[in-house]
């Protein structure tokens, strides 16, 4: 099963298995990793699953499509960066095995 | 209280109770955690019940807040299908309907809300349903098929979401609302009118300002007559809704969605301060220092608005779960959040932030006829109090920021799409 490493704002790392077909958000929630609340349960309605995608992985995760719900939500999320994604919108695939994401400040 | 060997019992394994248990472990609670729920399922998401679940687009695993194995792995003692029957505050025990007791040092009540019953004749007929639990949703799902005629009583979120899902399933739907407009308790008249037109355009019948006189059903043979067994419940199956003006709306299924009541009977019987919900402070503590209460069953202070309210929403349940867990673990309280809500109907996403308390003026940004717009609600001094956004996520997020920051923004600037939201919220 592919693995994802989640790095908390203060540096604590969690590497867990995330089943293909679920999402990067789901992997964090299922393992009770602090920093991803996912209030809306993956509906792209709340922006509480905001992550920064590690540079090495950006070409595989992609960026939010311009004008998409995700891009609009992120435009007003706290401390957005060019590598920001909502982790509920990153579908888990074999190609993402080894993915590294970081959590922003204040989302804990 | 510092993390230690103390015992926490959580009564109610819904969104709030499940989140509290997980937060306690996340925050380092080392004592025992017992999570007691009446339903057979571990904590699960309720919002999809009226939408993806009803439309058979979601599987059972995706509904769960966390995988079933999470609780044992996190040393959370999950006791399902157990009903709490009483609280002995002196002995610090919860009495279960099974006769067992659960001892606590700290108790968290996450009792949720119950569907407000419809107080008319025929409410006990077969196929008269409400929607709070997965079991309720399964009953409703089993009844909704192409051509089935659904009558929804109550034009609130649940009623409208179910009407939209029913149409997607090929069923007929009529919404019967006592007030003159849809979403009368929870949205502004402009939103009500927008959703009325949207539902009408999709073939949903709308009866506004219509009071229900009675539900009518099939005749049931008298016991012993004709050898036909009477179905369970009083009378037979529902066949129609009789309105007070005398008209009759024929139907095969009725969904009653006329609001919810706080499930605070256990707390009231135990002598906790209750007033339309269990009264709590900013850390979700009840009037007993050993007892917290979180989620739909509470009336909670809202520092942003200087009042206390009962909020029925997932974000509220999660915020209060964090407050209680942080207080129990001796952590600093989480920052106060702006209340928010969402509803999906057809391809429309409604997101609401804030409450229009003391709002005396509105500003509409965007065009309702274009399908994407937001209604900002402002106080007399232009402080943004609430925003209702339809297919307008940026307006929702910007409005939420303005509310949190208590921004004063001129209504004309909000109406002007040439003015960037980034600047208005800054």
pLDDT higher than threshold 80 for residue B148: yes
pLDDT at B200 over 90: yes
Q: What is the pLDDT of residue B299?
A: 98
Please give the biggest Cα pair distance in chain A: 34
Question: What are the angstrom distances between the C-alpha of B152 and each of B84, B149, B170?
Answer: 32, 10, 15
Of all residues in chain B, the percent with pLDDT exceeding 70 is: 95
| B342–A45 CB contact, under 8 Å | yes
pLDDT of the residue at B104: 98
Under 8 Å CB pairs connecting chains A and B tally to 55
Q: Which of B45, B48, B397 is closest, CB to CB, to A47?
A: B397
3-state secondary structure of B143: helix
Residue B60: per-residue pLDDT: 87
Treating both helix axes as pointing N-terminal to C-terminal, what angle do B157-168 and B189-201 enclose, rounded to 10 degrees? 20
HEC profile of A91-104: ECCHHHCCEEEECC
Q: Which residue on chain A is closest to B21 by alpha carbon?
A: A32
Residue B140 has pLDDT above 90, yes or no: yes
Contact A37/B at CB under 8 A: yes
CATH class name, domain A3-102: alpha beta
Dihedrals φ, ψ of B198, to 5°? -65, -45
How does residue A105 score in pLDDT terms, banded at 50, 70 and 90?
A: confident
Average pLDDT for chain B: 94
Mean pLDDT of B71-95: 98
Ramachandran area for residue B319 (φ above 0: left; ψ -120 to 50: alpha; else beta): alpha
Tokens of residue B54, six digits: 């009803």
Confidence at B61, pLDDT banded by 50, 70, 90: confident
**Mean pLDDT, residues B357-379:** 96
Residue B59: predicted pLDDT: 87
In chain A, whose CA is at the least distance from the CA of B391? A69
Tens of pLDDT, residue by residue over A39-56, are 999 999 999 999 999 999
Q: Name the percent of chain B lying above pLDDT 90.
A: 92
pLDDT value of position B221 = 47
Set of chain B residues whose Cβ sits within 8 Å of the Cβ of A29: 65-66
pTM of the model: 0.94
Residue A66, pLDDT above cutoff 60: yes
- Reply yes or no on whether the pLDDT at B225 is more than 60: no
**Which residues in chain A have their CB less than 8 angstroms from residue B45's CB?**
41
Q: How far is CA B317 from CA B12, B155, B232, B356, in A?
A: 12, 24, 36, 20
Q: Quick check: A39 contacting B, CB < 8 Å?
A: yes
* Confidence band of B108 (pLDDT split at 50, 70, 90): very high
Q: How far apart are CA B233 and CA B220, in angstroms?
A: 11
Rg of chain A over all Cα atoms, to the nearest angstrom: 12
Q: What is the mean pLDDT of residues B401-420?
A: 96
pLDDT value of position B220: 59
What is the pLDDT averaged over residues B319-340? 96
Instruction: Tell me if B61 sits within 8 A of B51, measured CB to CB.
Output: no
| B48 vs A contacts (CB less than 8 Å) | 41
Q: Do A45 and B401 touch (CB under 8 A)?
A: no
List the domains of chain B with CATH numbers. Answer: 8-114+260-328 (3.50.50.60), 128-256 (3.50.50.60), 347-425 (3.30.390.30)
Residue B349 pLDDT:
96
CB atoms A45 and B318 under 8 Å: no
Q: Which pLDDT belongs to residue B235?
A: 65
pLDDT tens-place string over residues A17-47: 999 999 999 999 999 999 999 999 999 999 9
Distance from CA of B382 to the nearest CA of A (A): 21
Residue numbers in B near A40 (CB within 8 A):
47, 314, 342
CA-based nearest distance A94→chain B, Å: 20
Q: Where are chain A's structural domains?
A: 3-102
pLDDT tier for residue B393 given thresholds of 50, 70 and 90 = very high
Q: What percent of chain A has pLDDT over 90?
A: 86
How far is Cα B236 from Cα B225, in angstroms, rounded to an integer? Answer: 15
């Amino acid at each position: 099963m592919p693995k994802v490493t989640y790095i908390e704002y203060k540096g604590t790392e969690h590497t867990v298995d995330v089943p293909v077909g679920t999402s990067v958000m789901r992997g964090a929630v299922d393992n009770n990793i602090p920093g991803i609340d996912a209030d809306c349960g993956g509906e792209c309605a709340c922006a509480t699953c905001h992550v920064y995608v590690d540079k090495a992985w950006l070409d595989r995760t992609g960026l939010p499509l311009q004008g998409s719900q995700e891009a609009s939500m992120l435009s007003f999320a706290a401390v957005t960066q060019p590598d920001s994604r909502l982790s509920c919108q990153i579908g888990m695939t074999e190609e993402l095995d080894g993915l590294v994401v970081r959590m922003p400040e204040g989302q804990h | 209280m510092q993390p230690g060997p103390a015992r926490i019992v959580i009564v109610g394994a819904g969104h709030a109770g499940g989140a509290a248990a997980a937060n306690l472990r996340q925050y380092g609670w080392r004592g025992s955690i017992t999570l007691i729920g009446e339903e057979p399922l571990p904590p699960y998401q309720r919002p999809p019940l009226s939408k993806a679940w009803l439309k058979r687009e979601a599987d059972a695993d995706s509904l769960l807040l966390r995988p079933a194995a999470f609780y044992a792995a996190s040393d959370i003692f999950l006791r399902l299908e157990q009903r709490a029957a009483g609280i002995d505050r002196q002995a610090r025990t919860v009495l279960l309907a099974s006769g067992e007791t659960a001892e606590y040092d700290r108790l968290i009540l996450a009792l949720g809300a119950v569907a407000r019953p419809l107080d008319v004749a025929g409410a006990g007929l077969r196929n008269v349903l409400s929607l709070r639990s997965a079991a309720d949703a399964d009953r409703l799902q089993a009844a909704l098929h192409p051509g089935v005629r659904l009558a929804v009583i109550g034009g609130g979120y649940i009623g409208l979401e179910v009407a939209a899902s029913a149409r997607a399933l090929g069923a007929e739907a009529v919404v019967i609302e006592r007030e003159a407009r849809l979403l009368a308790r929870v949205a502004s008249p402009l939103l009500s009118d927008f959703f009325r037109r949207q539902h009408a355009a999709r073939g949903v019948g709308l009866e506004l300002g219509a009071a229900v006189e009675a539900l009518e059903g099939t005749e049931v043979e008298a016991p012993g007559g004709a050898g036909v067994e009477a179905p369970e419940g009083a009378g037979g199956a529902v066949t129609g809704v009789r309105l007070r003006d005398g008209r009759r709306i024929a139907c095969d299924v009725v969904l009653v969605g006329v609001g919810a009541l706080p499930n605070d009977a256990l707390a009231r019987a135990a002598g906790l301060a209750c007033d339309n919900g269990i009264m709590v402070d900013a850390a979700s503590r009840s009037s007993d220092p050993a007892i917290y209460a979180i989620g739909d069953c509470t009336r909670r202070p809202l520092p942003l608005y200087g009042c206390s309210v009962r909020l029925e929403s997932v974000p509220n349940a999660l915020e209060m779960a964090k407050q209680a867990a942080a207080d129990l673990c001796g952590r600093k309280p989480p920052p106060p959040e702006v209340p928010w809500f969402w509803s999906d109907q057809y391809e429309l996403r409604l997101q609401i932030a804030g409450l229009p308390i003391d709002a005396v003026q509105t500003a509409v940004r965007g065009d309702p006829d274009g399908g994407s717009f937001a209604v900002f609600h402002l106080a007399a001094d232009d402080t943004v109090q609430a925003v209702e956004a339809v297919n307008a996520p940026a307006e929702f997020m910007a409005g939420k920021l303005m509310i949190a920051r208590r921004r004063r923004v001129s209504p004309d600037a909000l109406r002007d799409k040439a003015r960037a939201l980034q600047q208005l919220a800054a």
